[in-house]
Chains A and B, each alone.
Chain A
Amino acid sequence: QKEVEQNSGPLSVPEGAIASLNCTYSDRVSQSFFWYRQYSGKSPELIMSIYSNGDKEDGRFTAQLNKASQYVSLLIRDSQPSDSATYLCAVHAGNMLTFGGGTRLMVKP
C-alpha cells in the first residue's frame, strides 16, 4: 500500500521564524510531489510542486526533495500568522495522488 506520512503536529513557531514541514513516502516510483495548504473548513490550495531532487524556491516557500531518502519537505521563511493552516503533502505515482494526513502549523504573533 502506498503511504505518505506526515507528523500531524501542531507545529508551533513564532512569527518571523522558519517553519519546517516534513513528509516521507513509501512508493519508490513516485515522480511528482506537491504541497497543499488547507485552512480550516476550506479546500486544499496548491502552493508548491517539485519533480526533481534538490530545492525549489517560490517566494517565502522552499520545497526540498530527496528521492533516495524518499523524503520531501517544505520550508516557510518569515512565517506569518496567516500561514497558520494544515499543510498536506501529496505524492503522485502512476495516475493517482496520495495525500498525507497533514501537519497543522500554528504561527504565533
Chain B
Amino acid sequence: DAMVIQNPRYQVTQFGKPVTLSCSQTLNHNVMYWYQQKSSQAPKLLFHYYDKDFNNEADTPDNFQSRRPNTSFCFLDIRSPGLGDAAMYLCATSRELGGHEQFFGPGTRLTVL
C-alpha cells in the first residue's frame, strides 16, 4: 500500500544533543512537509520541499533544518534540542502544491530530557 512512513515513532534525546527524524513515502508525491504539533494545538508548518526546492516558514527557528536527498526521503534535523522542542513531529505529502490533499505519516513523538 502507498503510504508515508516515519522513523522512529518515539525518540528520546538529551537537551542539546542533535537528533534526526526521517520520513519516507511511496506515493511519489512532489511535496513533502514537516509539521510540529504540541499537545492540544494545531499542527504548525516548519518547512516544505517541492521536489528539491526548499521553503522555510518565516518563524521556524534556525535550530531546525531539513534535507531531501531524493523524492522518497526527507529528514528533519534538530541541531540543539531544547525542552520546548518536545512535540509530535509530523511528515506529510501532497501530489502538488496549491490545494491538493495532504497525507500524514504516523508521526514521531520527541521527548527532550
Contacts and interface: CB of A to CB of B under 8 A. Distances in A.
B107 interface: yes
| Closest 5 pairs (CB-CB, A-B) | A32-B99, A99-B42, A43-B107, A43-B104, A95-B97
Q: How large is the interface on A (under 10, 10 to 19, 20 to 34, 35 or more residues)?
A: 20 to 34
A45 B90 CA distance: 12
Given A43-B88, A44-B104, A46-B104, 10 more contacts: A8-B40, A32-B100, A36-B104, A46-B101, A49-B101, A51-B99, A95-B97, A95-B98, A97-B102, A101-B40
Interface residues of B, number: 19
16 contacts: A8-B40, A32-B99, A34-B102, A36-B104, A41-B109, A43-B90, A43-B104, A44-B104, A51-B99, A90-B102, A95-B98, A96-B45, A97-B45, A97-B102, A99-B42, A101-B41
